[in-house]
Structures are given as structure tokens and as C-alpha cells.
Structure 1
Amino acid sequence: MLQPIRHTLKDQTPLYIFVGVLFLMGVVFGALMVNALTLEQQQDLSRYLGNFFVSVNEGGEGFMPQTYWEVAGLHLKWLGLIWLLGLSVIGLPGILILDFLKGVLIGFTVGCLVGQYTWKGLLFALVSVAPHNLIVIPALLISSVAAVSFSLGIIRSRVLLHRNGNVSRPFLSYTGLTLAMAAVLMAVSSFETWVTPTMMAWVTPMIGQNTL
């Protein structure tokens, strides 16, 4: 299982750069979207965040951490979609769109927190968004590169070169790497489920004071 991971990390550098830049573009775009919100949307967002932080600070019903399988299921669904798009070949643009959207989601989330609470919002983002995503994002990007590489390999051999070679070995390598990333995501989901909410509870009192 480690062999395909080493092979991907070593031989797919241009794809990693391309996918990484695409993800970063999504982050920047998501952050800029915050400034495009209307005044009414900003007020609604401010009320929602204020109620959320008060609820976390007071231990209210509005703050209900997700269960392990909810967290893991979300990550695995995202990973599974990337895997399926890689198999379909025609889903190649969809893989790139998913990476961009992942960046947009993170950029928008952090942008909202910083826009509403400045350095306190950044601190909250560092404990609630950053820790698990330091593992989740690389795992998804590795899977995306593997999916793009698999699709390009099929296109090159079947469409451009008109070869009918055996694809079982590339498929097993691709699937093995995806399963390895699934194991990584399941492991980090435990951190996101049980550690992240505690870290959030440590930081929210200083934010909640400004929302009362």
C-alpha cells in the first residue's frame, strides 16, 4: 500500500503543483466572497455566529458536535466522489472543481470569522478549522492527483494511443492509495470529533463576551 503512495509523491510533482495552486485559488476566492456579501447577508451572518458562540460558551443546545461517523462519513463521501470521478475518466474536470470548492469553503469560513471578529476570529479558526484540515487537505489532494493521473493514463492509452492494455495494475494502485487516504481520514476524524470541540470551548469565552 505504501508503494503507490511513494510513486505518486515522487512522479506527479507537476500535478501536485497544479492541484495545490487550484486549491489555493479556491481559498482566496472564498475569502473574497465574504466582501461580496450584502449588508443584510452580513448582518444575518453576524447574528448566526453570535448565537453560535454564545451557545458554545453556555453549553446550549445550539452547539451539538457531530458524531464520529458523521464527521468521517462526510470526509469519506468527498474522497469516494473523487475516486469515482477518476474512474469515470469524463469526470476529470469534476475532480478539479471539487478541489477548488474545498478551497472556497475553507476560505469563506476563515474569511467570515476574521471579518466578524478580527484576531479573535482568526484564533478560533486556528483551533476549529486548521488542525484537522492540515491532514484532511493533503489527503484529499493526494487522492485528487491519483485520480487525475489515473484518468489521464486511461485517456492516453485507450484514446490517444488506441491501446487495450491491462488496466488492473493501475486500478489496484489507484484504489490502494485511495484506501490508504480513507484510513488517514478516519483517523483524523477522531481528532475532529473529540478534540476540536474541546479546543473550540476554550476559545469561545473571549468571543462570546462580545456577543452578549
Structure 2
Amino acid sequence: MAKSYLKRNKLINYLEENRSIYIFTTVLLIMGVIFGAVIINSMSFSQKNDLYAYLTLFFSEVDKGEFANPQEIFTQSFAYYSKMLGFIWLLGLSVIGLPIVFILLFIKGLMVGFTVGFLVDQMGFEGFLFAFVSVFPQNIILIPIFILVASAASSFSIKIWRQIVSRGHQPIFQQFTSYTLFILLVGGILVGVSAFEAFVSPALMQFIVEKVL
């Protein structure tokens, strides 16, 4: 009982200590989503047509069930997320890597906003339905994950910076261990996200294409 209380109290103190970082990263990602959606309006008619032609080709392949092997999709998806996760972890170990963490988070939001915005702009409600099954499910998990990872990397990077500036000699190994274990835990969650993208998402997309589009 006492241990669970101490753990909960420690978590609350951690969140309070890093509240500004979490707010900043959340706002940054939301700005990326908004900016990605706004980009659609600045595209020329020919650019939209070119993208829509690729999208139509993709829909025809989905309708025929011409997906890559699920195991191959899983491998590619998990490899992509693992590389990005590892890159953010590495950036968190250096003070100069902090701006790049923020840029990556903004780009993640931009990609989501652009994808959903383009589908809705070109296809209306049908595009929203397709985005709902192909973009939203995994990003409900991915977006909070990237916010948490970016915040953890930022927090650890700031601690290193404070150590350098104050020329302190406090041991930082414990924080490094916690930071690394958290990243590994997130990696385990990404296995589930990759499995969803490989084995569930294709079936949902095919269903929408066949029944709605």
C-alpha cells in the first residue's frame, strides 16, 4: 500500500515538474496537424489532381485486395517506428538534439493533418470515413506516444543542460535508466500498433472501399 502510494506520488511530482514540457509538445503537435490541413488550401489544382490520381490507384489496389504480405507490412511498420523512437531517444541524450525532437513531433502532426485534410477535401464524408479506419485508429495511440516520448526526451535533455550549466556532479545514471526503460516500454506498445497496421487496418480499408467508395 505504501509502495503504491509512493509510486503514485512520484508520478504526480514528475508530471507537475514537467507540465510545461507536456503542454508545449502537445500544442506543437496540434499546430502541426492544423498546419498540415491548411497546406491543402495552398496547393494548386494540378497538384491536387496528381495526388488524387495516386489515391485512386491505391483505392483500386485495395478494392482488389492487393496488399503486401501482412508480415512484410508488420516488419516495415515496426522498423520505421523503431528507428524514429531510437532516433528521438538518441537526440534526448544531447542538448543540441532538442530542437530536432520538436521538429520531428511537428512533422508527425503535419503528416496526420495533411493526410486527413486531403482525404476530406477531395472526397468529403467518404474521405473522412476512409481516414477514420486508416489513419485514426493507430494515431489514437501513436499521437499520445510521440507526445510522451518527445516530452521524456526533452526533460532528460534539459536535465543534462542544467548539469552542464551548474557544473553539478549529481549522478544522472538513474534518470538515464528510467528514460531508457520508458523508451523500451514504448517500443513494446509499438509492436501492437504495427500488428494492427499489418493485420487489421488493411481489412478495414478494403471494407470501406468496397462498401462505401
For normalisation by structure 1, the TM-score amounts to 0.90
2:104 to 91, 98, 102: 98
Aligned length: 204
Partner of 1:202: 207
Select which of 186, 193, 198 maps to 2:198: 193
Once the two structures are superposed, what CA deviation does each residue of 1:10-43 show, in whole Å capped at 9, x if it has no partner?
A: 5422211110000000000001111111121111
In 2, distance between residues paired with 1:207 and 1:108? Answer: 22
Kept in 2: contact 1:19–1:145 (CA 8 A): yes
Shift of 1:165: 2.1
Structure 1 Cα separation of the partners of residues 17 and 128 of structure 2: 36
Q: Are 2:159 and 1:156 equivalent residues in the alignment?
A: no
Match of 1:112 in 2: 118
RMSD of the TM alignment (CA)? 2.0
CA deviation vs aligned residue, 1:156-206 (integer Å, no higher than 9, x gap)? 1222x1112221111101111111111111122111110011100110124
Task: Tell whether the 8 Å contact from 2:31 to 2:106 is kept in structure 1 after alignment.
Answer: yes
- The aligned amino acid for 1:188 is V
Match for residue 60 of structure 2 among 30, 33, 54: 54
Q: Alignment partner for residue 31 of structure 1, among 34, 37, 42?
A: 37
Aligned twin of 1:175 = 180
Q: Is the 8 A contact 2:73 2:197 kept in 1?
A: no
Deviations, residues 110-136 of structure 1 (Å, cap 9, x unaligned): 111111100100010010001011111
Q: How does 1:116-135 map to 2 (within 5 A)?
A: 116-135=122-141
Normalized against structure 2, the TM-score is what? 0.89
5+ residue gaps, structure 2: none
Shift in CA distance, 188/147, structure 1 to aligned 2, threshold 3 Å: same
Alpha carbons 1:71, 1:189 under 8 Å: kept: yes
SS of the aligned residue for 2:143 comes to helix
1:137 CA drift (Å):
1.4
Displacement of 1:54 in angstroms is 1.5
AA partner of residue 173 (structure 2): S
Instruction: State the match for 1:13 in structure 2.
Output: 19
Question: For the residues of structure 2 that align with 1:80 and 1:140, how far apart are their CA atoms?
Answer: 12
Are residues 37 and 24 of structure 1, via their aligned partners in 2, closer, same or farther at CA, if it must alter by over 3 Å? same
- Unaligned runs of at least 5 residues, structure 1: none
Q: Distance in 1 between matches of 2:19 and 2:26?
A: 10
SS in structure 1 of the partner of residue 104 of structure 2: helix
Cα distance between partner residues in 2 of 1:6 and 1:128: 34
By how many angstroms is 1:59 displaced?
Answer: 2.5
Name the SS of the counterpart of 1:164 in structure 2: coil
